[in-house]
Amino acid sequence: MSIEIRQLTHIYDAGTMGEIKALDKIDLTIKKGNVFGLVGGIGSGKSTLASLIAGLEKPTGGRITIDRQPPCPGRNVGILFQQPEDFFFEKTLFRDMTSGLLHSGLAEDEVNERINSTLDLAGLDRQILDQSPFHLNRGTLRLAAFASVLAMRPRVLILDEPTASLDPMSRKRMVEVVEHISGDITIIYISHRLQEVIDVSQHLAVLDKGNVTFTGTRSGYLDWAAEQYGGEFLPVLSQVMYSLYRQGFDVDPDVTCLDDAVEQIRLSLEKT
Amino acid sequence: MIRMYGHGRSYMHLLDPRTKLALMVGVSLLIYSARPSGLGVLLGFVLLLSRTCRLPYTRLIQGLRPMLIFFVVIFLTHVLFTSGEPLFEGLPVPSLEGVIVGSVLVLRFILLILYTSIMTYTTSPSGLNYALMFFLRPLGTFGADLAFMTGTAMTLIPGLFREKDIITKAQVARGYKPRGLKGFTALVVPLLLRSFRRVDELSDSLESRCFHSKRRYYYYRKTLAKRDYAGVGIYVVLVVVILFFF
């Protein structure tokens, strides 16, 4: 399930004085089963790109194909919007989570099975299904919204700032679920938290003012970022490892796990 | 009907918001007093304005869509309840007079909405607030509050449409097609939730910045420029042409 993006351009308010070119002739290939990180500043075009890949908007120019098919929301692609907990509307969480699935024409047994399995996957207690979504905390609701998108069994899943305004525990849980499901689903992970994106993604792209300024592997990104900004915006661990590497220590600057970093530094110190 | 403000440097954009608001009232009166042939001239004038401020016709017409049912109801009411020469033999309705009266009235409403769209598209929310406060000054604190409330509401309405789009997309992405009464709930509940939150945040931020109705809102007072007088001149010419020649 690879995603091909070719010459993708999107202009808001086209033809008016206030027209904004959100994306400018973007080319990207996202491989099947990968977690693809998308980073960039505010207004760089990340959310626009997410909406276009999800098939929720028509691009001004260019094309997007998911396994040579156009994107079809709710079928071959799912998207978890920013603050998805705002979109609940039913009296109980169960009714809310099942509404989309029932609309898709699935049998009740199949719907129940999907809801229960995705709730388990998200680490949520099944008892919350009887509660009103308006009485649940934000972290639980975010995971429930995530579960309801997963229950649609999309082959491509777009997560737009999935951990924004979540407490550390809920954030950790969200990242764990993403890591768990990656491999089966192609995930596009959009976040401002560089550490988080680097942790979960195998490939990354950097957007700047509607243009792709970098695309490549995680280690390639760390090299690129170190070269571009002197590592200033890299996660602290990467900055430390790069600094040690430059000072002649025998360490891998691309390491992202704290335990591995400690072990490498220890071995390097023993050698010296 | 109420378009979101689009930044620009057109003649309409550069007009003082007070002039635009005053002309808005003037044009509204003209729309209601013009004869059918005069309405044609006004339609041409509105389309010309839209062209000069680079608001595409398609987007201008989009603003009429929410009012479509209203237009149909008005038109049918006149067609069915206006007596006159029957269009079809043996049937008392529709009458030719009813069709004409209904069409003209719908055209008046369309013109009013199109002109309002152009005005809100070319006037920033703060400019609109300033103009409203200026004209409601005689009412004192009440006038200032009223102007602020109206201006804020007008600023938030396009935001509601944007929110509606986001919510629709989010529900579609969950496999839900917001249609019918059930679809209405799926749209309205999240919309109200997000709107109340937004308004709550807005009021908190205003209070945190010491907003108070008895205080002055603007430090800089605007002065009318030559283009504002030219705008009034164009309006006077339009009035004379439409009322006396059409």
Q: What is the pLDDT of residues B84-138, one digit of tens each?
A: 777 777 776 778 888 888 899 999 999 999 998 888 888 887 888 888 888 888 8
| Residue A234 structure tokens | 């890299």
- Cβ contact, residue pair A56, B177, below 8 Å: no
| Residue A76 structure tokens | 């071959």
- Which of A114-123, A225-234, B194-203 comes out lowest in average pLDDT? A225-234
Q: Is A156 helix (H, G, I), strand (E, B) or coil?
A: strand
- Cβ contact, residue pair A17, B9, below 8 Å: yes
> Is the per-residue pLDDT at B171 higher than 90?
no
What does the mean pLDDT of chain A come to?
85
- Which of A44-58, A82-96, B1-15 comes out lowest in average pLDDT? B1-15
Neighbours of A209 (CB within 10 A): 14
Place of tokens 């993708």: A8
Residue B216 pLDDT: 59
Residue A61 pLDDT: 92
- Cβ contact, residue pair A18, B8, below 8 Å: yes
Burial category of B73 from C-beta neighbours within 10 Å (exposed 0-12, middle 13-18, buried 19 and up): exposed
Q: Which of A247-251, B19-23, B151-155, B157-161 has the highest mean pLDDT?
A: B19-23
As a whole number of angstroms, the distance between CA B9 and CA A17 comes to 8
As a whole number of angstroms, the distance between CA B152 and CA B198 comes to 12
Mean per-residue pLDDT, B208-227: 72
Complex ipTM more than 0.85, yes or no:
no
- Cβ contact, residue pair B167, A73, below 8 Å: no
At A113-126, the pLDDT tens digits run: 989 898 888 888 88
Share of chain B above pLDDT 90, in %: 13
- Which of A87-91, A231-235, B127-131 comes out lowest in average pLDDT? A231-235
> Is the per-residue pLDDT at A262 higher than 80?
yes
Residue B174 pLDDT: 76
> Is the per-residue pLDDT at A74 higher than 90?
no
Residue B2 pLDDT: 54
Residues of B in contact with A15 (CB under 8 A): 54, 56, 59
Residue B131 pLDDT: 86
As a whole number of angstroms, the distance between CA B102 and CA B92 comes to 16
Place of tokens 């990968």: A34
Mean per-residue pLDDT, B4-25: 86
- Nearest residue on chain A to B188, alpha-carbon basis: A89
Share of chain B above pLDDT 70, in %: 92
What does the mean pLDDT of chain B come to?
83
As a whole number of angstroms, the distance between CA A142 and CA B186 comes to 17
Does residue A170 or residue A214 have the better pLDDT? Answer: A214
Of A15, A89, A100, Cβ closest to residue B56: A15
B26 — pLDDT class (breaks 50, 70, 90): very high
Mean per-residue pLDDT, B67-87: 84
Q: What are the Cα distances from residue B234, in Å, to B28, B238, B240, B246? A: 15, 6, 10, 17
Residue B217 pLDDT: 58
Residues of A in contact with B55 (CB under 8 A): 16
Give which of B169, B174, B193 to mutate to test A binding, by max A Cβ within 10 Å: B174
At B49-64, the pLDDT tens digits run: 888 888 888 878 887 8
Residues of B in contact with A152 (CB under 8 A): 174-175
Residue A152 pLDDT: 85
Q: Which B residues in the span 189-208 are in contact with A, Cβ-Cβ below 8 Å?
A: 189-190, 193-194
A5 — pLDDT class (breaks 50, 70, 90): very high
In terms of Cα–Cα distance, which of A185, A164, A30 is closest to A118?
A: A185
> Is the per-residue pLDDT at B3 higher than 60?
no
A64 — pLDDT class (breaks 50, 70, 90): very high
